Amino acid sequence: MCRYSMTSYKPHYACFTCQKTFKRRLLGDVLGGYSKDVQEKSATCPECRGVMADMGLDFKSPKKKDTKAWDHIATLYSVDITFHSCGCSGPGYIPNDKDQLKDYFTGIKNTYLEHLYFWARRKEDPETQSQVAKDQRQHWGFLGRIPKELRKGTKNKPKYDAEQALLYWSKKVAEIEKKINTLTK
């Protein structure tokens, strides 16, 4: 539920086969609250009985006859791009076609590779306060984009686990390559 609204949104589900969407009430709304024991079941298309894709709260379906748009929406879903926001922040940039999507992911991959190369070249953390300050000024874009659990030490004398950072960025590269490969099939 959006913190600026008193009503809960209904998630949108899409059937790419029938090119239809449906809104579905949340089970918590039906039962009057959530319980640990209650789990949402996957949505089934009332027309073809297939499992529907959870497209999120802010999904706007294309017209039924717009096959090209439906194919693109199916492609977006296949690479985990959905519309799961409450309208406050929005889903972010969504490319209009497969080529733009591939270019978008290639740009992300290049950024991930820059981070990977940075951590592969990093030999050791700076020792003195002036070296730390210089390092943070020069490399803030790399140092600030790793998970907090890979940052050790104190604010004045931070330590970074370069090996773990390499593993982290390698996984990110592999994830984005998987999405790019999905688009080329």
Q: pLDDT, tens digit, for every residue of 131-173?
A: 888 998 999 999 989 888 888 888 778 889 889 999 999 999 9
Regarding whether 175 and 139 lie in a shared domain, the answer is: yes
* C-alpha gyration radius of the chain: 22
- pLDDT tops 80 at residue 28: no
Regarding whether 64 and 31 lie in a shared domain, the answer is: yes
Instruction: Identify whether 49 is part of a domain.
Output: yes
d(Cα 164, Cα 152) in Å, to the nearest integer? 12
Instruction: Identify whether 89 is part of a domain.
Output: no
Instruction: Identify whether 123 is part of a domain.
Output: yes
Regarding whether 173 and 110 lie in a shared domain, the answer is: yes
Mean pLDDT of 52-65: 88
Q: pTM for the full model?
A: 0.73
Task: Give the structural domain span for 60.
Answer: 12-78
Residue-averaged pLDDT of the chain? 84
Regarding whether 105 and 176 lie in a shared domain, the answer is: yes
Regarding whether 103 and 72 lie in a shared domain, the answer is: no
Alpha helices (H) in 39-157, listed in sequence order: 67-78, 98-121, 129-143
Query: Residue 165: exposed, middle, or buried by beta-carbon count in 10 A (0-12, 13-18, 19+)?
Result: buried
Instruction: Identify whether 125 is part of a domain.
Output: yes
Provide the domain count of the chain: 2
According to the model, what pLDDT value does residue 177 have?
A: 95
